[in-house]
Amino acid sequence: MTCVTIYLDNAATTKISDLSLYEYVRVQRDYFGNPNGVHQISQAAKTILEDKREFFAKAVGADVRGTIFTASGTEACNLAIKGGKGDLAVAIVSSVEHHCVLEPIKTYPTRRAVRSNSDGTLDLNDLEKVLKETGDTVDLFALMAVNNETGVIQPFEEAYRLVRHHAKRAKILVDAVQAAPWLDLENLYSFADMMVISAHKFHGPKGLGVLFSRHPSDLVPIISGGGQEYEKRSGTQDVAAIAASAVALEDMQSSRVQNLSKVKTLKTVFMDSLEQEDVEFVVNGNGEYSIDAIVNICFPGVRNEELIFLADQEGVAISAGAACASGAMQPSHVLLGMGLTKSQATSSIRISFGTDNTPEECIEAAQCLSTIASKLRTKRVE
């Protein structure tokens, strides 16, 4: 098997940065104590833990006591949704959310899904219609800031105003997992009661999620035990992962302007190269209102499963969308929610660029994918 040389699946996970990895090893080695103990070794780890909690809180404009560390973005979303459930009956969610939101939302007695427009953005007219029908019975409204499959930036500001106008008691949850490397987190949090990020999306280690909550006293733990994290999430904290994640986020935030410029160049080079090839393709989603780090492309008449497999054999790593435990290739609910047919959805792939990629890689990947897609389509026609 050819070793993967071009990694274009950064929306699934990013490679841990050298700075983050160094910090992880340093803290794991020098501050290995349980931060919940009373002796000096434990208290040294506790100091690191709380220092990094303050960093994360300040990074988004949150309160320290409302900054809760979890083992993943998925757990953080579950804590926000299940642990934040109030005494009202209705949860409203966009139809193109990640499964880490769609699944726990099922614990609500009444769930209303808001349609997506064909460009992947939330249908604000449908949201207003649903809000008028549900009003003060709405307990939760959940919306991802950036879609993980299309890169589309959702109209969270407009949605915020509608929810606040029609459902004043509703809590607003923003899934900022894909947005964290690219958008202003403090601005995002200003439109939320709760927000979630995950470190491995911005070159930190896997296994660290953060939930920011404006009303942490309203949260009920979904994991019981020793009462860590202000009694909101039990379990010994991974201080090294937290410290390494803080370094990674600080690095991404300090170089965000340069990084945005770089991925824009990468996307432009990739798309220009693809357009020069003799292959039919369609971009799924609003290309104007999206982050440049993600592009979703449909190659009509080509099965994405075959395309991904053959690209991998040539050393190009891509995906069809969100990774799941089974690895099964199912039609994307995001693309189906945008109105694509099952055939179009199963002919679509996701390309996600990262700061480690180069323009030369993007040219090579575009040529590789177009060659494979053309051969597969010809084969199907024959």
Is 1 inside a domain boundary?
Answer: no
Clarify whether residues 286 and 201 are in a common domain.
no
pLDDT over 90 percentage in the chain: 91
Query: In terms of C-beta density within 10 A (0-12 exposed, 13-18 middle, 19 or more buried), how is residue 172 classed?
Result: buried
* Strand blocks (E) in the chain: 6-7, 67-70, 90-94, 110-114, 138-144, 171-175, 194-198, 209-213, 282-284, 294-298, 316-317, 348-352
Is 317 inside a domain boundary?
Answer: yes
Alpha-carbon gap, residue 38 to 161, rounded angstroms: 47
- With 50 as the cut, is the pLDDT of residue 176 above it? yes
Clarify whether residues 166 and 278 are in a common domain.
no
- With 50 as the cut, is the pLDDT of residue 339 above it? yes
Clarify whether residues 208 and 287 are in a common domain.
no
Give the phi and the psi of residue 309 in degrees, each rounded to 5. Answer: -65, -50
Is residue 81 within 8 Å of 94, Cβ to Cβ?
no
Clarify whether residues 275 and 222 are in a common domain.
no
Is 299 inside a domain boundary?
Answer: yes
Q: Last residue of some domain: 221, 254, 287?
A: 254
- With 80 as the cut, is the pLDDT of residue 58 above it? yes
Is residue 292 within 8 Å of 267, Cβ to Cβ?
yes
pLDDT in tens, 202-244: 999 999 999 999 999 999 999 999 999 999 999 999 999 999 9
Is 162 inside a domain boundary?
Answer: yes
Clarify whether residues 210 and 319 are in a common domain.
no
Supply the pLDDT for residue 102.
Answer: 95
Supply the pLDDT for residue 325.
Answer: 43
Alpha-carbon gap, residue 246 to 258, rounded angstroms: 19
98: Cα within 13 Å, side-chain hemisphere: 28
Is residue 220 within 8 Å of 81, Cβ to Cβ?
no
Clarify whether residues 150 and 181 are in a common domain.
yes
Is 166 inside a domain boundary?
Answer: yes
Supply the pLDDT for residue 87.
Answer: 81
Supply the pLDDT for residue 288.
Answer: 85
Query: Domain tally for the chain?
Result: 2
Q: At 150, list the tokens.
A: 């299309």
Q: Which CATH number belongs to the domain containing residue 50 in this structure? A: 3.40.640.10
Clarify whether residues 66 and 178 are in a common domain.
yes
> C-alpha angle with apex 177: 173 to 183, nearest 5 degrees?
95
Clarify whether residues 250 and 352 are in a common domain.
no
Q: Which domain holds residue 215?
A: 18-254
Supply the pLDDT for residue 322.
Answer: 67
- The pTM of this model reads 0.95
Q: Last residue of some domain: 202, 219, 254?
A: 254
Q: Which CATH number belongs to the domain containing residue 272 in this structure? A: 3.90.1150.10
Which entry of 3, 77, 298, 324 is annotated as an active-site residue?
324
Identity at 375, one-letter amino acid code: K
Supply the pLDDT for residue 135.
Answer: 87
Is 281 inside a domain boundary?
Answer: yes
In which band, very low, low, confident or very high, does the pLDDT at 85 lie, cut at 50, 70 and 90? Answer: confident
Across the range 248-262, mean pLDDT stands at: 97
In which residue are the tokens 């979303």 written? Answer: 77
Clarify whether residues 93 and 114 are in a common domain.
yes
- 324 classed as catalytic: yes
Helices (H), 232-298: 239-254, 256-276
Is 160 inside a domain boundary?
Answer: yes
> C-alpha angle with apex 307: 202 to 381, nearest 5 degrees?
155
Q: Last residue of some domain: 222, 254, 286?
A: 254
Residues near 87 by Cβ (< 8 Å), separated by ≥ 6?
Answer: 139
pLDDT in tens, 3-43: 568 999 999 999 999 999 999 999 999 999 999 999 999 99
Clarify whether residues 219 and 350 are in a common domain.
no
Clarify whether residues 307 and 350 are in a common domain.
yes
Clarify whether residues 269 and 120 are in a common domain.
no
Is 286 inside a domain boundary?
Answer: yes
